[in-house]
């Protein structure tokens, strides 16, 4: 079943999400903003031959930031799964037991975060590939003899 066919009320999910999940999602938005700003700065600084190593190092730092964000997502998701299992166990004692809807916030966070990290990784990967290819073409002897 395609996960987007589920009716999710995002305001309700935000209200029901624990503090850690909300904080992580805000952190992920900040990482996305930082990634876009860094990619723009890298493209601008790559024109100058002396600043190319700095630009490529910035892209390597972005790769590490995205990996850290992915590992943090795994930690937050594990915490959310344990919280959901605990909520299901505790609700069995009451008159209205909760079912798999306890996992809604965890699944929504996993879906949105994974999609955002996929897009950010693709942007960083394509930028690195294009810039290293451009640098290799400019540094090749055939291109230098034409100038």
Predicted TM-score of the model (pTM):
0.78
Taking Cα atoms as reference points, which of 40, 34, 31 lies closest to residue 127? 40
Q: Tell me: pLDDT of 129 over 90.
A: no
User: What average pLDDT does the segment 88-104 reach?
Assistant: 80
The pLDDT-based confidence of 146 (bands split at 50, 70, 90) is: very low
Query: Residue 3: what pLDDT?
Result: 55
Cα–Cα distance measured from residue 64 to residue 125, given in angstroms and rounded to the nearest whole number:
12
Q: Is 18 helix (H, G, I), strand (E, B) or coil?
A: coil
Taking 60 as the threshold, does the pLDDT of residue 119 lie above it?
Answer: yes
CA separation (Å) from 124 to 29, 37, 65, 120?
16, 12, 11, 6
Predicted pLDDT at 7? 66
Cβ distance 103 to 81 under 8 Å?
A: yes
| Mean pLDDT within 65-90 | 91
Q: Rounded to whole angstroms, how far apart are CA atoms 27 and 23?
A: 6
For residue 52, pLDDT over 90 is answered with no
**Do residues 127 and 39 touch, judged by C-beta distance below 8 A?**
yes
Taking residues 71-95, what's their average pLDDT? 88
The helix (run of H) or strand (run of E) holding residue 43 is: helix 19-45
Distance of alpha carbon 97 from alpha carbon 84, whole angstroms: 13
The answer for 48, left when phi > 0, alpha when psi is -120 to 50, beta otherwise, is: beta
**CA neighbor of 57 nearest in space, from 36, 69, 41:** 41
Q: What is the mean pLDDT of residues 20-35?
A: 94
Longest dimension (CA), the chain: 82
d(CA 89, CA 92): 6
What integer pLDDT is reported at residue 109 of this predicted model? 87
């Amino acid at each position: 079943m395609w996960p987007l066919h589920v009716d999710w009320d995002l305001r309700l999910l935000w209200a029901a999400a624990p503090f850690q999940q909300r904080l992580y999602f805000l952190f992920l938005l900040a990482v996305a903003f930082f990634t876009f700003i860094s990619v723009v700065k890298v493209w601008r600084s790559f024109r100058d031959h002396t600043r190319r190593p700095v630009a490529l190092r910035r892209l390597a730092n972005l790769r590490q930031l995205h990996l850290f964000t992915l590992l943090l997502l795994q930690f937050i998701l594990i915490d959310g799964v344990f919280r959901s299992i605990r909520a299901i166990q505790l609700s069995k004692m009451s008159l209205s037991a909760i079912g798999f809807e306890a996992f809604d916030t965890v699944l929504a966070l996993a879906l949105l975060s994974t999609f955002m990290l996929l897009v950010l990784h693709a942007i960083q990967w394509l930028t690195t590939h294009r810039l290293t290819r451009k640098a290799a073409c400019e540094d090749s002897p055939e291109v230098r003899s034409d100038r």
